[in-house]
């Protein structure tokens, strides 16, 4: 090492707007500010932080994008609880950019769906069962409409996760669930004969939940997931190829190209 070399890196000062966002977030996560509590206006924050308005505005934008704060009609800012969909779509984009494969998605779904079903057997309520029964009935009555079946399937698995009454599990499932929907759509468009098997699996799962029969519930969720994997293979896709994303994430993740 020469006399001019140094093992140290230059010190980089973080942008002021990031420090503003971090200070507000720290107060929210510590519990000093709770959902619904006012944060103030931009002008009030300018005075409190001793920075210019553009710095505060950029910091606020960071927090609005994460769903931690919301802007009211009066332009006052208040603490919000991030919605699952806002958080999950960001993570789903990251999964797509990482070029995750169907095999990875299937193994993850196997773990999460079994966990959700096991907890749903123990924690489900009468309202949960009612919503699941209605979902199965609606799927049956629209079995000829592949688009409706795909949406019903996505809703069924969301309702099952909600019946577990575990918010961490629900949040953990959502990013990968947005990738499941387009794969299911692709499979059904290539093999409509699989729709009765899908509906039967859903019906059997609800029946097992109603009887609080964990063994039967886990048996049927396993069959359901194996059918999903087999359908994907039969449709001509390689399990180890990246899941393609051909449209921008909106209400749903992209659809596979199909006839």
Q: What is the pLDDT of residues 165-220, one digit of tens each?
A: 999 998 888 888 888 888 888 888 888 888 999 999 999 999 999 999 999 999 99
How confident is the model at residue 134, as a pLDDT?
A: 97
Map the chain to HEC letters.
CCCCCCCCCCCCCCCHHHHHHHHHHHHHHCCCCCCCCEEECHHHHHHHHCCCHHHHHHHHHHHHHHCCEEECCCCCEEECCCCHHHHHHHHHHHHHHCCCEHHHHHHHHHHHHHHHHHHHHHHCCHHHHHHHHHHHHHHHHCCCCHHHHHHHHHHHHHHHHHHCCCHHHHHHHHHHHHHHHHHHHHHHHHCHHHHHHHHHHHHHHHHHHHCCCHHHHHHHHHHHHHHHHHHHHHCCCCCCCECCCCCCCCCCCCCCCCC
All structural domains of the chain, each given as residue ranges with its CATH number in brackets, are 16-79 (1.10.10.10), 85-234 (1.20.120.530)
Residue-wise pLDDT tens digits, 136-155: 999 999 999 999 999 999 99
Residue-wise pLDDT tens digits, 7-64: 776 766 778 988 999 999 888 888 899 888 999 888 899 999 999 999 999 999 888 8
Mean pLDDT of the residues in the chain: 85
């Amino acid at each position: 090492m020469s006399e001019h070399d140094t093992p140290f890196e230059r010190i980089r000062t973080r942008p002021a707007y990031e420090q503003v966002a971090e200070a507000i977030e720290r107060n929210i996560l510590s519990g000093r500010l709770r959902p619904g509590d006012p944060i103030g206006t931009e002008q009030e924050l300018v005075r409190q932080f001793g920075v210019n308005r553009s710095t505060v505005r950029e910091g606020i934008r960071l927090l609005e994008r994460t769903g931690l704060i919301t802007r009211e009609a009066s332009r006052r800012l208040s603490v919000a609880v991030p919605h699952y969909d806002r958080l999950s779509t960001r993570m789903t984009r990251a999964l797509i950019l990482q070029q995750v494969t169907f095999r990875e998605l299937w193994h993850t779904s196997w773990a999460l769906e079994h966990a959700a079903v096991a907890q749903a057997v123990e924690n489900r309520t009468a309202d949960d069962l009612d919503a699941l029964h209605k979902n199965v009935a609606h799927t049956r009555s629209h079995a000829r409409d592949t688009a409706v079946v795909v949406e019903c399937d996505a809703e069924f698995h969301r309702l099952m996760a909600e019946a577990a009454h575990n918010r961490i599990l629900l949040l953990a499932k959502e990013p990968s669930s947005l990738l499941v929907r387009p794969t299911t759509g692709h499979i059904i468009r290539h093999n409509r004969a699989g729709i009765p098997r899908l509906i039967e699996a859903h019906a059997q799962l609800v029946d097992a939940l109603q009887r609080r029969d964990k063994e039967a519930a886990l048996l049927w969720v396993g069959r359901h997931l194996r059918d999903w994997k087999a359908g994907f293979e039969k449709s001509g896709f390689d399990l180890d190829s990246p899941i393609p994303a051909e449209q921008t994430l909106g209400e749903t993740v992209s659809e596979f190209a199909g006839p």
